[in-house]
Chains A and B, each alone.
Chain A
Amino acid sequence: AQKVTQAQTEISVVEKEDVTLDCVYETRDTTYYLFWYKQPPSGELVFLIRRNSFDEQNEISGRYSWNFQKSTSSFNFTITASQVVDSAVYFCALRRIGATNKLIFGTGTLLAVQP
């Protein structure tokens, strides 16, 4: 069975702090994609990153970085020097390569960045 677990329901930090959002997944597939989406208060899910299971290189995009470790089935997301605009719900998701219909989401982590 496929499953995504985001154990942190809510996180509150003060602006400029670094924060890491955890994501642990389960799958029997050897090839798959992992995703992070951001959902601001407006409701739209904004695509942040897609990671292929063959590529374990960490990725950095501005203040965002992602740590993918197959050995621990984790795909963690770090925001450096957080800002109030980072306040949102963040979802981690898993999808099989070749499967067109299934994007398995975690339950999301609500990040509140206080000024």
Chain B
Amino acid sequence: DVKVTQSSRYLVKRTGEKVFLECVQDMDHENMFWYRQDPGLGLRLIYFSYDVKMKEKGDIPEGYSVSREKKERFSLILESASTNQTSMYLCASSLPSPGSSGNTIYFGEGSWLTVV
């Protein structure tokens, strides 16, 4: 089974703090993703990485950056946390397309971040 692990389930941070959300996958997937989930908005893509040190902006990258130094690890960074970044953050991974199994994205359990 694919396992995507997010290191922190619940975090409370202060406005202006630098925040790191860590994600590790154990299936040697090339693609990794960070999504944000908010009520009434569904899931929105923040950043995507298709290889080590490679990244692409998603739909809502403002206020975020990412780091992918190793294939299995993808970090989301909030340089200066703000209250509007209070949300649920979901990490995911997949094999690259094309390929029948490569088109399924597997998700972690999520990290609930509260910025006060």
Q: Are A50 and B43 in contact (CB under 8 A)?
A: no
Using A47-B106, A50-B104 as known contacts, say yes or no to A98 and B98 having CB atoms under 8 A apart: yes
In Å, the complex CA distance between A95 and B48 comes to 14
- Choose, from B19-27, B66-74, B75-83, B107-115, the stretch at the interface: B107-115
Q: From DSSP, what is the main secondary structure of chain B's interface residues?
A: strand
Q: Are A44 and B43 in contact (CB under 8 A)?
A: no
Q: From DSSP, what is the main secondary structure of chain A's interface residues?
A: loop
A115 contacts across to B, CB distance below 8 A: none
In Å, the complex CA distance between A67 and B41 comes to 25
B29 to chain A, nearest CB (A): 11
Within 8 A of A (CB), among B86-115: 88, 90, 92, 94, 96-98, 103-110, 112
Residues of A within 8 A of B (CB): 4, 33, 35, 37, 42-47, 50, 91, 95, 97-103, 105-108
